[in-house]
Chain A
């Protein structure tokens, strides 16, 4: 086992942690069905509330879709570490010789597959419902791909910081994390707006890539540090 190169060992660990997270999620479907249902319900309510006029809807569509995506990701994230903290798994992770940030990355990626990927998949349909020009749909999907990953990475920091807070942890987490997610919202909806107006969206998308790179390199370390505090305080 020690003869394996370090990276192969970590990759195998990442894969088995990912399998574990997905196995847990499949057995408790409410956890990952809630965000996607929330996303669909909020967006379908807008044409009913605002009126089905294509002009109004297509103007507000990028913002509506992006705000719904942000809220659906954030509202579901607070339970990310809850189970593992309370059944003692997190303590085992902290006390193992494996790097905690790999555990965090696996959990985040599993959460993205369950809570982020479905949003991408239904977003073209919802875009048509909101009369978003067809030319903007690829940019919408791409911006959601980059944005949801960043949001979950950043949200994981908040989830770890508030893991030991009982009820009300969700509000505290939103207060902590929402300011950090505002740039993602601005550049994400900005990209879609630009594409809807037949303007180049490359600038916005590049900034989303930059934000993702920043979150990917810093968030797992910060989350791991917060989890160590959570375990020692629990």
Chain B
């Protein structure tokens, strides 16, 4: 199969590409023929004001939402043709963090490991690195926003085999120590040859470089 060759051949660097992605929100044109090329080892940032469509673009890039026109390619093959292969490589931390309020941090992460073939025995050490081990047995709904965000972000360290990270505002609600931890994880991921696409309003670490795409440019060019 062509798709297997494209994604399993380590000689071919991974890349995530948006080809003329267009999304309408009712009568308004939200994303107009967006072209984006996120390469392996680079951190691709998407900038833009609130409401400019950053989250929508990320959801389209990871396949959670469909574009009205255009396609997203992973390693040169359309996502729609290799859904399962791409999902194995994908780590998406969305606008909604995917942390269940009634479950503890450990329970949330155990399931995340089961769903994504992560290493469950690492959960304690990752929670320790994130400074949330002491509260790991409290239902996540009782934790602060920053602590909940840390539970969601622990997946970055638990699923290191994933090749494509799509992160929506990963630094929101985090303190300096948390931001440094996330930047460190992203840097390690880039060095492993992973693709990262993210949005953020905070400055990222200086060690992370890559193209910045702005959605604020005139839409009807």
Contacts and interface: CB of A to CB of B under 8 A. Distances in A.
B135 to A, nearest CB: 16
Contacts of A96: 87, 115-116
B100 A24 contact: yes
**Residue of B64, B92, B95, B116 most packed against chain A (CB within 10 A):** B64
Interface stretch (A80-88, A126-134, A140-148, A168-176): A80-88
Interface stretch (A10-18, A50-58, A112-120, A157-165): A10-18
Interface residues of B, number: 30
B111 A16 contact: yes
Contacts of B64: 91, 94-95, 231-232
A88 B55 CA distance: 13
A231 B101 CA distance: 19
A47 B43 CA distance: 70
B96 A91 contact: yes
A1 interface: yes
The prevalent SS among residues of A at the interface is helix
A83 B100 contact: yes
B87 A87 contact: no
A200 B114 CA distance: 47
Interface string B106-118: 0100111011110
Contacts of B111: 16-17, 20
Nearest to A84: B100
A167 interface: no
Contact of A95 (B87, B97, B100, B107): B87
A25 B174 CA distance: 30
A83 B116 CA distance: 21
A87 B112 contact: no
A95 B65 CA distance: 10
B112 to A, nearest CB: 7
Contact of A24 (B59, B66, B95, B103): B103
B21 interface: no
A89 B100 contact: yes
Contacts of B62: 95
B48 interface: no
A87 B101 contact: yes
Interface of A: 1-2, 12-13, 16-17, 20, 23-24, 27-28, 83-84, 86-89, 91-98, 231-233
5 contacts: A13-B115, A16-B110, A24-B100, A94-B64, A98-B115
Shortest beta-carbon contacts, A-B, top 3: A88-B96, A88-B98, A97-B88
Given A88-B94, A88-B96, A232-B59, 19 more contacts: A13-B114, A13-B115, A16-B111, A20-B103, A20-B107, A20-B111, A23-B103, A24-B103, A83-B100, A84-B100, A88-B95, A88-B99, A89-B98, A89-B100, A92-B115, A95-B90, A95-B92, A232-B64, A232-B66
